[in-house]
Chains A and B, each alone.
Chain A
């Protein structure tokens, strides 16, 4: 582990000296027998197969069930690193909620000219049906999964805000469970903050957002599109873990002014719906009339104040990558403070000058669709062939406003266990944030995604990424 690291390695920094947060783990690892660890790695895979954590990959001819590879070397953050991160995320998430409320009501930020109107006008993620309405508790983003990347000792950046239905929290929980089962001795040696409270906190946070007409124990349901969805495992897992109902659209209907689910004892009223289906499919009476997944009338019941929808319809406007580029202004506008967490430098290709720069430097940049997610439809310049670059340049020229570009980041690395040794691989981090009128709660940890191929910078599970357990140490 000695030598110059081109990228910041979270275990050994730039110069090969083991960083404090990793010292205890590093000592433990040095004492381990490589063969035993290799065996453990296989055990982990068996464990995941047995619990049923699999993942469907979109865009393949057959919906292929695949395991997200798990790496047994944890990603470790010191308490003080986490505290700073959490403060930054909290500030940003509070600003995003204020932004959404403003955009769907007075639109002061547009009138002040701090965010250009044209980014909202005609944006499909902007829902006119939300105008002039305040959701219960004035919360729009009940659950957020902020994507964080790191490039140096103190250099954290927000890559994406994921204000609409972020997935992956089940992996955070299962990864910890797996580590606890495989290496119980490690956790007695090293004090790691627990993440197992997440389902309980999720339940509490959602319940605190229930309409005022709900009783003291609001009924919560997870609305899933069904078993063919790539995240179905997570939907059923979360419902089970927090003691909520798992429902599909056809289980629900309007009863006495509320949304209710069919049970063996008749219809039972639901107060909070944690929906894992897209806005467009949510209500055929208000949005896409062809939708078979949604609940007819839910938007009417919502506007009448009789149900909480998490996350709020229309929250996705905050995920637009052109809006993202204004996030430092958005934070300042609503909190009156400078943003604690930095944004990644972003060129808006729709702006004159920016497009030319992006075309001239395409091979060094990452280009993303403004409405895209999950790593689909993006170009990673340094990894692209000449032909791919040329094809993408044409797409860019045809619809420049549809794209933003960012520099290829020198993402930090964390070692993974490869057969017998440690090898650095690039990572990102998705902490999970819960928002309610009672406050913002961030579970200490999150989902660390790791690009398993040597040198690769793409961590998305749909693009061959794996995951790691994420530790926040106790002081």
Chain B
């Protein structure tokens, strides 16, 4: 499937920026599930300082917002050719050893709730079925909805709250898989919802690793494994590792953010 994507993030600042940096992970790479054609990231109101591969292999850019700017916009756009591999990325490895994906981060540290889910997975005879069952169980336990969680909400907190977004679903899944001894990671990217061009937000899902199949994707929020409607942009141990944009700003005043995302065939 050929997907055409335009993803714009626009920040507005109440008081002009004195000094601010943003780390951007918005450049997808070729994988067995996708091939990238003509991808670019355009910045207005800021300046690209460096570009490099981070430890997960994500192409990462550091941007400085122009001093005095009160608005900056970042547009990632291009065309991606995707293919349906039944959610299986396979045995594709970077510089991170698998055992690191068994290590909990601050956001994925399990509590009692997640440990209970993990126990069921651990007892499952067939791990692939166990992972699918777990995905359904998490979707059941945590209803999709915004407003209750934020970027710093941990997996356990989101589970307790019973309501969350794709980021929470993915992190609960990751946390439980790790607790059950299965390496897991976070993926941030795009999903083309079939009924619309204008998508509401960037998406996130999880990948788990089985020795038999390699990496397999699980989109808890949509109760399916990623197919040709998905574009993988960045991976990491949790949201913080893979966040499309994260930044730091000196000075006071509020900021607001508007995202527009079009994904179409």
Query: What residues of chain A have their CB less than 8 Å away from a CB belonging to chain B?
Result: 105, 107, 110, 117, 121-122, 128-133, 253-254, 256-257, 284-285, 289, 296-297, 300-301, 303-306
Contact = CB atoms under 8 A, between A and B. Distances in A.
A301 B95 contact: no
Contacts of B21: 254, 285, 296-297
A301 B64 CA distance: 12
Contacts of B100: 121, 128, 131
B49 A297 contact: yes
8 contacts: A130-B55, A133-B55, A289-B248, A296-B21, A300-B52, A304-B50, A304-B51, A304-B62
Given A285-B23, A304-B51, 13 more contacts: A107-B97, A117-B99, A122-B103, A129-B54, A131-B100, A133-B95, A285-B21, A285-B246, A297-B21, A300-B50, A300-B52, A301-B49, A303-B52
B169 interface: no
B95 A304 contact: no
Contacts of A132: 53, 55, 57, 94-96
B248 A257 contact: no
B33 interface: no
A300 B62 contact: yes
Contact of A121 (B51, B64, B95, B99): B99
Closest 3 CB pairs of A and B: A132-B95, A304-B50, A300-B62
Contacts of B99: 117, 121
Interface string B30-65: 000000000000000000011111110100101010
A296 B246 CA distance: 12
Query: Could you say which of B19, B52, B57 has the most chain A C-beta atoms within 10 Å of its C-beta?
Result: B52
Contacts, number: 68
B237 interface: yes
Query: Could you say which of B21, B62, B100, B246 has the most chain A C-beta atoms within 10 Å of its C-beta?
Result: B62
Nearest to A104: B95
A131 B95 contact: yes
A100 B145 CA distance: 45
Contacts of A289: 248
B19 A253 contact: yes
Contact of B49 (A117, A254, A284, A305): A254
A256 B49 CA distance: 6
B49 A300 contact: yes
B23 A300 contact: yes
Contact of A296 (B50, B53, B237, B248): B248
Contact of B62 (A128, A131, A284, A297): A297
Contacts of A303: 50, 52-54, 60
A27 B96 CA distance: 62
A297 B65 CA distance: 13
B62 A254 contact: yes
B102 to A, nearest CB: 8
Contacts of B55: 128-133
